Structure 1
Amino acid sequence: MPEVTNELMYELLKQVDQQLGELSQDFSEVRSELGPIRGHMIATEHDLKNIHCILARRVDRLDRIERFLDGA
């Protein structure tokens, strides 16, 4: 087993520091990509709520038409 020296520890710490820097950059990239995805999700949710409201109005109108036709 090789002897642990200050130089060896220093080299290992430099490698760990470099890998942590790369991970930090990767996380930053992922975070920047999540922003637009979150925006699209919010827009999709808004669209679905609008569709739901439109369908609810159509159902109400059909109910009124059915009541009118049943009474005629």
Structure 2
Amino acid sequence: MAEVTNELMFELMKRMHQEIGGLRLDIREVKPELSSMRGTIVSMQNDIHNIYGVLGRQDDRLDRIERRLDLRELAEPLSAYNPHP
């Protein structure tokens, strides 16, 4: 078995220091990418929220049209297809 010397320990510590330095650089590159992805996800969530709002308004308009034309009793209930009653 190889003898553990101060020189060997010093070389191992230098190698570890280099590896940790490389990891720090990688993390610095990943952080802005994660922030960008977070911004994209928030934007997509806002878009989906807006789409649900538009669909809700269209549904309300359709209900008013059906009531005015007395088609309400003929329309089939869509509660099974409506995820947000």
TM-score under structure 1 length normalisation: 0.92
Identity of aligned residues (%): 51
Any gaps of 5 or more consecutive residues in structure 1? none
1:8-60 CA deviation, whole Å, 9 max, x = no partner?
Answer: 00000000111011111111111111111111111111111111100000000
Q: Which runs of 4+ in 1 moved over 4 A?
A: none
* Higher RCO structure, 1 or 2 (CA under 8 Å, sep 6+): 2
In the alignment, the residues of structure 1 paired with residue 29 and residue 69 of structure 2 have an alpha-carbon distance, to the nearest angstrom, of: 60
Q: Is 1:69 the counterpart of 2:69 in the alignment?
A: yes
Name the structure 2 match of 1:22: 22
Measure, in 2, the Cα distance between the counterparts of 1:16 and 1:63: 68
Please name the residue that 2:13 is paired with.
Answer: 13
The structure carrying a bigger helix percent of its residues is: 1
The number of equivalent residue pairs is: 71
Q: 5+ residue gaps in structure 2? A: 72-85
SS in 1 for 2:3: coil
